Amino acid sequence: MAVYTDISEVELAQFLAGYDLGEMMSYKGIAEGSENSNFYLHTSAGTYILTLYERRVDAGDLPFFLGLMQHLANKGISCPLPVERRDGSLIGEIAGRPAAIITFLEGVWVRRPTAAHCRAVGEALAGLHLAGSDFALKRDNALSVDGWRRLWAQARPRADEFEPGLVAEIDGEFDAFAAGWPDDLPAGVIHADLFPDNVFFLGDRLSGLIDFYFACNDLFAYDVATCLNAWCFEKDNAFNLTKGQAFLSGYESVRPLQEAERQALPLLARGSALRFTLTRLYDWLTIPDGALVQKRDPNEFIRRLRFHRHIGGVSEYGLGRS
């Protein structure tokens, strides 16, 4: 569910008075997502998405997120474009929440990605990395290694309740990151959450990227590793080499990886898998059943973490294969 704050027609009409979008025709909550409240919004000027930013999103980060979308759209990346208010700002307030209106992208996200979808995502991710190179604002990745440590400190006392032995296993992961996590690879703006539900397609054609609310500055190869986790595993958590090869060849057709980035991929993929393990584990252990925030099973990424730990070389992801 992704409508945590409901709004009335009167509240919405007052909010829309700050925009030049004509008359409100209809609005409807969107029952997907896990962070913010989202609504389809139809006005006499067109169709849009209204987002209310909930307490999990720091309002101080909104200029980065919305400014980045504006920057990328102006660079030719197909992504939502924030709509300016009459006063030129991008952020308003409704129902006590910061809120913004963004343009509507046609398309749907694919439940069963093919290799062709994976290649298109690789090309789009590399294009995003290049297009964001001159974006002026900066935002540290709050969910990199230091952020994982903070999450782990809160989840660790009860982690063995989820799976016996998990405490020792994850402690060992942090030891590996302390010894080898790279800090000298090419970096810039990354999406950091480019899962299938954040990419729209019309048939096999990628029509747009959405949900930039984890975007930040970090290693490009870490973003690549996150997409390997998000796109190239099957429902049984088996890695699909054909999809891995398609995704990576798509990426390198736009931005070739440096050799150091290639060699770092197994560790970065482990880190990415741990990041999603920990956010899911924290929610699993701390959010009561029946709460509005969606809880997702950590097992999916625990299994992917274990896969990456035993990777013998980057060819096992499809790099170097024609």
pLDDT in tens, 170-209: 999 999 999 999 989 999 999 999 999 999 999 889 999 9
Q: In whole angstroms, what is the distance from residue 100 CA to residue 139 CA?
A: 19
The single-letter code of the amino acid at 161 is E
* 77-117: pLDDT as tens digits: 999 999 999 999 999 999 999 999 999 999 999 999 999 99
Q: Who's near 304: CB < 8 A, 6+ residues apart?
A: 229, 233, 237, 269, 273
The single-letter code of the amino acid at 159 is A
Q: State the pLDDT at residue 198.
A: 95
Q: In whole angstroms, what is the distance from residue 190 CA to residue 138 CA?
A: 11
Q: Is the model's pLDDT at 294 over the cut of 80?
A: no
Ranges for all domains in the chain classified under CATH 3.30.200.20:
9-103
CA angle 80, 81, 84 (to 5 degrees): 145
* 227-254: pLDDT as tens digits: 999 999 999 999 999 999 999 999 999 9
Q: State the pLDDT at residue 288.
A: 65
Q: In whole angstroms, what is the distance from residue 188 CA to residue 186 CA?
A: 7
Ranges for all domains in the chain classified under CATH 3.90.1200.10:
115-317
Percent of the chain's residues with pLDDT above 90: 85
More confident residue, 296 or 180: 180
Question: Does residue 267 contact residue 176 with C-beta atoms inside 8 Å?
Answer: yes
Q: Is the model's pLDDT at 322 over the cut of 50?
A: no
Q: How confident is the model at residue 1 (pLDDT cuts 50, 70, 90)?
A: very low
Pick the range with the lowest mean pLDDT from 16-30, 83-97, 286-300: 286-300
Task: Give me the architecture of the 9-103 domain, per CATH.
Answer: 2-Layer Sandwich (3.30)
Q: In whole angstroms, what is the distance from residue 114 CA to residue 199 CA?
A: 13
Q: State the pLDDT at residue 290.
A: 54
For residue 192, the Cα-to-chain-centroid distance in whole angstroms is 5
What's the predicted TM-score (pTM) here? 0.93
Q: Is the model's pLDDT at 291 over the cut of 50?
A: no
Pick the range with the lowest mean pLDDT from 14-18, 273-277, 294-298: 294-298
Topology annotation, domain 115-317: Aminoglycoside 3'-phosphotransferase; Chain: A, domain 2 (3.90.1200)
